[in-house]
Amino acid sequence: MKLSDKKRVNILDAAEQLFFENGVEHTTMDQIAKAAQASKRTVYNHFTTKDALFEAIIIRMVEHLNQDDELRFSNEIAIDIQLTKIAQQEVSLLNSVHFLRIAKIAFMQMLQQPALAEDIASNQFGCMRYLESFLRQGVANNKLQIEDIEFAAKQFVYQLKSFVFYPVLFGFETPDSLPITKIIEQTVATFLSRYQAE
């Protein structure tokens, strides 16, 4: 690795840690330079603004998310079993240390920068990468009856988020304190009570 590339990585590592501990607004470029053992000029050579540095960190963190393989619809497996597997993978991602770290760093900044919130929302994480396609296959094979696929996919994921992600993000719960099995079972049951084909 070239020296300039190593410096860039050091800057990103230092900024990520400081943003996580103190928030973006309360972290200065001077602090980042000191933590990265680099000059302030070197930091600005790599990142012209703190916003540019923040965006680079979020992009890097998203790229390193451990996301499971896409689950494809099977006509040979009961639909509730398949949706349960999808929910289990989603909960595992939402409660992962890495995903929660991204969320903590990004959350306050997104409130101040609506454009950033839109950019992050446009990136599909976890099962949202393939859930709409899965649901369409379920409809095509007469396992599900759904008119608005996009809305139904969001219903499924947002219900999981409301129980397993936001309470942990805001410190009301810990991943270990959540009744994960019950949450998943009830999410799948609620979804199928609305959309399962008769």
pLDDT tens for residues 30-88? 999 999 998 989 989 899 988 888 888 888 877 777 667 889 999 999 999 999 999 99
Shared domain for 35 and 122, answered yes or no, is no
pLDDT digits (tens, 9 = 90+) for 143-191: 999 999 999 999 999 999 999 998 998 889 888 899 999 999 999 999 9
Task: Provide the domain limits for residue 23.
Answer: 3-63
Q: Name the phi and psi angles at 44, rounded to 5.
A: -70, -25
**Which CATH number goes with the domain that contains 13?**
1.10.10.60
Contact 52, 61 (CB under 8 A): no
Shared domain for 72 and 53, answered yes or no, is no
71 sits in which H/E element: none
Nearest to 37 by CA among 61, 1, 57, 9: 9
Count of residues in the chain? 198
Tokens standing for residue 77: 């497996």
Contact 134, 74 (CB under 8 A): no
Shared domain for 102 and 43, answered yes or no, is no
Using the 3D structure, point to which of 41, 63, 85 is the last residue of a domain: 63
Shared domain for 30 and 87, answered yes or no, is no
